[in-house]
Copies of this chain bind each other. A is one copy, B any other.
């Protein structure tokens, strides 16, 4: 399913969460399908079940997974996690914009920035 990179100096759970998130975002995991159980993935990757659990918890926190008690963890429908993801990013963007205003950067410059970033390859 995924492969851990032991040269990567980030913690295992973070690396796992990131790889799984990318897998889900790129469509490598079908929505509504069951994820491997915490224990089976732990065995497969030779880590402690709690490490997998922590990665799953992170993904659930971000809306990519949901859990049914006693049955397992499942991939969320795309529309849902897409909305969650956009909400998170939207909030960060708003904070960054408020800071820009506070620092005296004029609105026109931001608008020009949007044109540039969105125009770079196909608006």
Contact = CB atoms under 8 A, between A and B. Distances in A.
A94 interface: yes
A113 B92 CA distance: 12
Interface string A93-123: 1111111110111010111011101100001
Where chain A touches its partner, the secondary structure class is helix
Contacts of A90: 100, 105, 109, 113
Given A104-B82, A104-B86, A105-B86, A93 B113 contact: yes
Interface residues of A, number: 28
Interface string A58-87: 000000000000000000000000100110
Contacts of A101: 117-118
